[in-house]
Amino acid sequence: MSLRKRVFLNVKINKGRSVGLFLVLSMILLFILVGLILEQTAKEAIQRVKSSANATVTLTANREQAFRNITKPKGTQQQLTLPAVRIAVAKKIAAATAVKSYNVSSMTTVKAVSFSAVTETADASATHVSGRKQNTENLSLLGVTRTTSLIAFSSGGSKITQGRALRASDGRTRNIIIEEQLAKKNKLKVGSKISIKSSSQKNISLKVVGIYQGGAPASSLALGQMNTSNTIYAGVETVNQLKNTNGMADSVTFSLKNAVVAKKFVKMASLQLDSSQYVLAADDSVYRALLTPLNNVRTFAKGLLLVSVSLGTIILTIIVAAIMSKRRAEIGILLSLGEKRMKIAAQVGSELLLIGLVASVMAVSGGTTLGNLISKQLIQQNSANASSLTIGTAQNQQAENNATTEEVSAQTGTQQGILRQNQQLKTLTVHLSWNTYGKLIVLGSLIIVLAVLIGTAHILFLEPYRFMSR
C-alpha cells in the first residue's frame, strides 16, 4: 500500500482523531486568515490613502515675531499692521516639484450696497438676547487664486451649484462667486452684478460668475459677520486693490502632490525662508487621521498573525507529540520494516496537510465574516478618536486667531475631509483574494511541517527497539 493510500486510509479510519485535528486546524487557520485578511485590507487602504489623501502646507507671516516687535517699548508709537506674506516669496517655494498647486488668500471686510446680507442665523434667538441688531451687515470678501483647490471645496464641504468656480485668470477681473442663500435672498443669478463698499469707502461693482452651496467654512467669518453665507470669493488682486496691499497675501497654501512628503517639503522649503518673517506649517492631518486607524488595524493584524502562527505551532506540536505516543506500535512496525524516518514524518505530515486543506475551506467561510466584524470594530473605535481630536484643534485654532482665514478654513476643511473619508472607512470591507488564500496555505503548511518535525522528533530519533517494549 502506497504512502498516499496510507495517508487517506489513516485519516478515514481514525475518524475521531481526524475530526479533532480538523477542529484544531480550523481554529488555527481561522485566526491566521483573519490576520492575513486584515493585514491585506489595511495595506491596500493605506496605499489608497497615501495616493489620494491631500496635504497642504500653509505659508503665513510670523505673527508672533511681529507682535513681539510691537510690544517692545521704542518710544515712538508704532502703527499696528497685520504682517503679510509676499506673493513673490511664495512663488519661489511653489516651484518645487512636490507642489501640485498653490492658492494665495487675501481677505477684507466689505459692506453690501446694492443688496443685503443674509441675516438669519441658525440660532436666531441668540441675536435677540444679545439685542444686537446689525444695521450694516459685514461681508467677507475672500480673495483666492482658485476655489477648486480650497480644502472647503476639494473636501466636498462646499460645491459649485451654478455657473463656475473661480480660476487663476479671474484674479484681476471683478468676477466673484457667492453663496446660494445670499443669491436666493437677493434674487441674484449667474451674470448678476452687485456693488459693495470697501473700508476705504469706495463703491465697487462685482460680477457673479458662480454660486456655491454649503456655506463657507465658519472660520472665514469677517469681523462682525454673522453668517457664513456672507462669504464672497473673489480674485486675489481685486481684494488686494481694495486693501491696498498689492503683491501681498494673508497666507499662501500649497497643495502637495503626495501627502507622504509633507514633512520633508516643509523642511526643505523652510531653508529658503527667513524664519523671523515667515512660518511654514504642514497640514497633513487628513492624511494622518486616516492613517492612524488603518495603521492600528495593520498592527493588530500583524500581532494576530504572530500570535496565531506561534501559538498554533506550539499547540499543534503538542498534539502531534501526543498522537505519536499513541501511534508507537505503528511507528515501530514501520521502522522494523525499514521505512525511512523522513517517510514516516511525511506520512504524519501529509495526514495533517490533508485535514488542514479541508479545514482551510472551513476557515475561509468563517474568516471573511470575522474579519469584517473586527475591522469594523477597530475602524470605528479609532476614527472616533481621530475626529474628536481634530475638531478640538480646529476650535482652538479658531479661538486663537481671527486675523487669518485660509489657515482656519483649512482646518475646518480638514475636519470635513476626515468625516467624509471616515464614512468611506466605515464601509471598509475585507475581502479574500486568491493571494491571501495562498498565503494561508503556505503559513498553514509551515505550521504543520514545523509541528511534525518537532512533534515526531522524540519518537523518530529513538532507537527502533524502544517501540518493541510494550
The one among 99, 111, 339, 454 contacting other proteins by CB under 8 A: 339
C-alpha cell at 221: 467669518
173: left (phi over 0), alpha (psi -120 to 50) or beta: beta
C-alpha cell at 118: 443674509
Contact stretch for other proteins (CB under 8 A) within 148-156, 294-302, 326-334, 414-422: 326-334
Phi and psi, residue 117, nearest 5°: -75, 160
The one among 121, 336, 369, 381 contacting other proteins by CB under 8 A: 336
**According to the binding rule CB under 8 A, does residue 460 interact with other proteins?**
no
Contact stretch for other proteins (CB under 8 A) within 1-9, 48-56, 238-246, 447-455: 1-9
The one among 23, 281, 311, 333 contacting other proteins by CB under 8 A: 333
The one among 98, 222, 323, 335 contacting other proteins by CB under 8 A: 335
C-alpha cell at 138: 459685514
Contact stretch for other proteins (CB under 8 A) within 37-45, 94-102, 243-251, 338-346: 338-346
> Exposed, middle or buried by CB within 10 Å (0-12, 13-18, 19+), for 22?
middle
Contact stretch for other proteins (CB under 8 A) within 9-17, 206-214, 263-271, 306-314: 9-17
> Do the strands 138-144 and 193-197 form a parallel or antiparallel pair, or are they unpaired?
unpaired
**According to the binding rule CB under 8 A, does residue 6 interact with other proteins?**
yes
- Minimum CB–partner distance for residue 469 and other proteins (Å): 7
**According to the binding rule CB under 8 A, does residue 468 interact with other proteins?**
yes
Question: Closest Cα partner for 226 from 234, 216, 236?
Answer: 216
- Minimum CB–partner distance for residue 458 and other proteins (Å): 17
C-alpha cell at 280: 511654514
- In the complex with other proteins, which residue's Cβ is closer, 263 or 466? 466
- Minimum CB–partner distance for residue 424 and other proteins (Å): 55
- In the complex with other proteins, which residue's Cβ is closer, 236 or 320? 320
- In the complex with other proteins, which residue's Cβ is closer, 10 or 383? 10
The one among 70, 113, 329, 373 contacting other proteins by CB under 8 A: 329
- In the complex with other proteins, which residue's Cβ is closer, 5 or 128? 5
Q: Which residues contact 54 (CB under 8 A, 6 or more apart)?
A: 151, 154, 255, 256, 259, 286, 287, 417
Give the span between the Cα atoms of 43 and 433, in whole angstroms. Answer: 13
**According to the binding rule CB under 8 A, does residue 342 interact with other proteins?**
no
Question: Closest Cα partner for 281 from 448, 192, 401, 373?
Answer: 401
The one among 264, 385, 420, 465 contacting other proteins by CB under 8 A: 465
Beta strand segments in 28-71, E: 56-61
Report the site for other proteins in 14-33 (rule: CB under 8 A). Answer: 14
Beta carbons of 223 and 414 less than 8 angstroms apart: no
- Minimum CB–partner distance for residue 20 and other proteins (Å): 16
- In the complex with other proteins, which residue's Cβ is closer, 1 or 122? 1
DSSP one-letter string for 238-254: HHHHHHT-TTEESEEEE
- In the complex with other proteins, which residue's Cβ is closer, 9 or 19? 9
- In the complex with other proteins, which residue's Cβ is closer, 15 or 187? 15
C-alpha cell at 167: 480660476
> Do the strands 193-197 and 99-112 form a parallel or antiparallel pair, or are they unpaired?
antiparallel
Within a 10 A sphere around the Cβ of 261, how many other Cβ atoms?
17
C-alpha cell at 152: 472647503
The one among 77, 125, 201, 469 contacting other proteins by CB under 8 A: 469
- In the complex with other proteins, which residue's Cβ is closer, 336 or 393? 336
Residue type, 211: I
Residue type, 57: V
- In the complex with other proteins, which residue's Cβ is closer, 305 or 345? 345
Phi and psi, residue 188, nearest 5°: -95, 145
- In the complex with other proteins, which residue's Cβ is closer, 84 or 353? 353
Contact stretch for other proteins (CB under 8 A) within 3-11, 20-28, 61-69, 271-279: 3-11
- Minimum CB–partner distance for residue 297 and other proteins (Å): 46
- In the complex with other proteins, which residue's Cβ is closer, 334 or 447? 334
Give the span between the Cα atoms of 376 and 357, in whole angstroms. Answer: 28
DSSP one-letter string for 165-178: ---GGGTTS-EEEE
- Would you give the DSSP letter of residue 123? S
Question: Closest Cα partner for 374 from 9, 54, 30?
Answer: 30
Residue span 280-319 as binding mask against other proteins, x where in contact by CB under 8 A, dash where not: ----------------------------------------
**According to the binding rule CB under 8 A, does residue 224 interact with other proteins?**
no
Give the span between the Cα atoms of 295 and 37, in whole angstroms. Answer: 14
Where on the chain is the footprint of other proteins (CB under 8 A)? 1-2, 6, 9-10, 13-14, 329-330, 332-340, 463-465, 468-470
